[in-house]
């Protein structure tokens, strides 16, 4: 029996669209303990928690050149070419994001400009878990390199043999990343936050992860380390009408469901038949997939929602703020024009979400859990800082000086006023 939520009133949307995530409070206690241990014990704590969480004891975390060379030899030429093509597209799109210096004279003699500088040290977190996401190496490594970050540290969890997936090591080498650390989970984020003998401290941490990694990243900000965004379990919302292909829709929903049991997929439609037929396709296609047990668990969190108009659909979707948003309607332009909250949008029947995950060029590191209402996905600017500059001539200070003096005096900050007054007097004395 297909469970469809029909015409839900706005008052029920908050409960209907809840994510299947644990509360931060339920996770914070574990994260706090690991952070405190890493801060005080360094690499000893890293080794202990790697043994506990990843079932392998390691004293040395740095991947050697020999390990990288061996890994490269085990990656097929066919896959290498695919990764190179994806890298090329990602480079093309992210290179196009470069902007010119902003330089303007706000008034005569007052020049202001803005320039971008790379963040010097960044940490890239690459999930291992149930699937080693070497594609994320491209999504983070390419813009970090294009931005000119001097120190790029990649952390990823080892398997039970203490090794890293060949594809991750190959892709890291392709991106020019030299420092690869065999550490994952909370302990990796803590290591990047505090720095240890083997793990450098960084200024900003990037990358998706499970709920524990997400909370760990948020905790890192309390210790002066920036993060890209709170990117947790994956999610996808599809908007489809009577013209959509249910088999296509189901394949996209399943592509996100296979990420993990805490992933969420939602289908919104103005046509009940589309919902029913897609549900049938979900059952059929699930039986053909390798990660069936993960998918079935994730599909327990799915939502099939029937609405009575395109406008209601738009309002509900913006209320949810999906990480990934697919449009399969006869009126895609209407929906594109009204997107307010979404991480990345995929338009039309031949734009699968997996294209953005791998090779089209856009970045797949995106805000989840409703953070698309306030955060952008990772891009070139994520690895850069905007620094403003200004230069004022004598003539400029004469013109703007009295404005500054009046405003400073009104705020009761007389030293601010005096810094202008003393200069204006000097100029007056010269004349």
Q: Quick check: 1 pLDDT over 60? A: no
Mean pLDDT value across residues 92-101? 97
Distances (CA, A) of 127 to 85, 130, 223, 232, 408: 22, 9, 23, 11, 51
Would you state the pLDDT for residue 193? 98
CA atoms of 301 and 40, how far apart (whole Å): 40
pLDDT class of 24 with cuts at 50, 70, 90 = confident
Residues 256-274: what's their mean pLDDT? 95
Average of per-residue pLDDT across 190-201: 98
Tell me if 261 sits within 8 A of 310, measured CB to CB.
no
| Predicted confidence (pLDDT) at residue 292 exceeds the cutoff of 70 | yes
Q: Considering the candidates 323, 353, 364, 405, report the single residue annotated as catalytic.
A: 323
Task: Say yes or no to pLDDT of 429 above 70.
Answer: yes
Q: What integer best gives the mean pLDDT of the chain?
A: 96
Is residue 130 pLDDT above 90, yes or no?
no
| DSSP E strand stretches across 242-302 | 264-269
Residue 286 predicted with pLDDT over 60:
yes
User: Domains in the chain, start-ordered, CATH in brackets?
Assistant: 5-20+233-361 (3.40.50.1980), 24-108+120-230 (3.40.50.1980), 393-430 (1.20.5.1300)
Taking Cα atoms as reference points, which of 136, 150, 143, 149 lies closest to residue 98? Answer: 143
Comparing 40-49, 95-104, 129-138, 372-381, the range with the smallest average pLDDT is 129-138
pLDDT in tens, 330-360: 999 999 999 999 999 999 999 999 999 999 9
In this prediction, residue 129 carries a pLDDT of 66
CB atoms within 10 A of CB 68: 19
The C-alpha torsion from 247 through 252 and 254 to 259, rounded to 10°, is 170
Which residues, in sequence order, are CB contacts of 337 under 8 Å at separation 6+?
none
The per-residue pLDDT for 384 is: 98
For residue 26, the model assigns a pLDDT of 76
Q: Is 323 a catalytic residue?
A: yes
Strand 121-125 with 5-6, pairing: unpaired
**Helix and strand totals (H; E) in the chain:** 17, 14
The 10s digit of each residue's pLDDT in 113-123 is: 999 999 999 99
Q: Is the pTM of this model over 0.85?
A: yes
CA dihedral over 181, 183, 185, 186, signed as positive or negative: negative
Q: Output the pLDDT for position 128.
A: 85
259 is catalytic: no
Query: What pLDDT, on the 0 to 100 scale, is given for residue 233?
Result: 83
Looking at 167, 324, 364, 405, which residue is catalytic? 324
Q: Which of 39, 125, 135, 126 is nearest to 87 (CA)?
A: 135
pLDDT at 178 over 90: yes
DSSP summary character for residue 87: H
Taking alpha carbons only, the member of 253, 325, 236, 240 closest to residue 19 is 236
Nearest partner of 137 among 124, 128, 149, judged by Cα? 124
Locus of tokens 């740095």 = 62
Q: What is the DSSP letter of 62?
A: B
Across the range 202-211, mean pLDDT stands at 93
- What is residue 145's predicted lDDT score, i.e. its pLDDT? 98
């Amino acid at each position: 029996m297909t469970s469809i939520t029909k015409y839900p009133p706005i008052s029920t949307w908050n409960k209907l669209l809840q994510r299947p995530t644990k509360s931060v409070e339920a996770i914070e206690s574990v994260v706090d303990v690991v952070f405190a241990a890493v801060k005080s014990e360094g690499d000893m704590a890293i080794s202990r928690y790697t043994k506990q969480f990843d079932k392998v004891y390691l004293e040395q975390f740095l991947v050697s050149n020999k390990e990288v060379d061996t890994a490269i030899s085990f990656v097929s030429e066919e896959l290498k070419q695919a990764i190179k093509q994806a890298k090329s597209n990602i480079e093309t799109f992210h290179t196009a994001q470069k902007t010119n210096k902003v330089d303007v004279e706000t008034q005569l003699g007052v020049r202001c400009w803005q320039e971008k500088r790379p963040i010097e040290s960044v940490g890239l977190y690459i999930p291992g878990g149930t699937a080693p996401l070497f594609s994320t190496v491209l999504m983070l490594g390419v813009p970090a390199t294009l931005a000119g970050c001097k120190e790029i540290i990649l952390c990823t969890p080892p398997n039970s043999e203490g090794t890293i997936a060949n594809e991750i090591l190959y892709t890291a080498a392709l991106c020019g990343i030299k420092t690869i650390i065999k550490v994952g989970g909370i302990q990796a984020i803590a290591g990047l936050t505090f720095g240890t003998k083997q793990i450098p401290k960084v200024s900003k941490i990037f990358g998706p992860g499970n709920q524990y990694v997400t909370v760990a990243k948020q905790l890192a900000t309390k210790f002066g380390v920036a993060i890209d965004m709170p990117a947790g379990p994956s999610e996808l919302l599809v908007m489809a009408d009577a013209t959509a292909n249910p088999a296509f829709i189901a394949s996209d929903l399943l592509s996100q469901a296979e990420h993990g049991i805490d992933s969420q997929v939602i289908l919104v439609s103005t046509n009940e038949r589309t919902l029913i037929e897609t549900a049938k396709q979900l059952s059929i296609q699930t039986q053909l997939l390798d990660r069936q047990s993960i998918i079935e668990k994730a599909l327990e969190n799915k939502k099939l929602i029937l609405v009575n108009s395109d406008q209601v659909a738009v309002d509900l979707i913006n209320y949810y703020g999906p990480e990934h948003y697919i449009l399969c309607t006869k009126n895609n332009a209407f929906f594109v024009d009204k997107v307010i909250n979404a991480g990345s949008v995929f338009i039309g029947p031949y734009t699968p979400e997996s294209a953005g995950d791998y090779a089209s060029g856009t970045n797949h590191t995106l805000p989840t859990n409703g953070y698309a209402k306030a955060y952008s996905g990772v891009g070139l600017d994520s690895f850069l800082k905007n620094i403003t500059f200004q230069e004022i001539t004598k003539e400029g200070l004469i013109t703007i000086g009295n404005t500054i003096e009046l405003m400073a005096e009104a705020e009761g900050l007389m030293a601010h006023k005096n810094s202008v007054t003393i200069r204006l007097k000097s100029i007056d004395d010269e004349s």
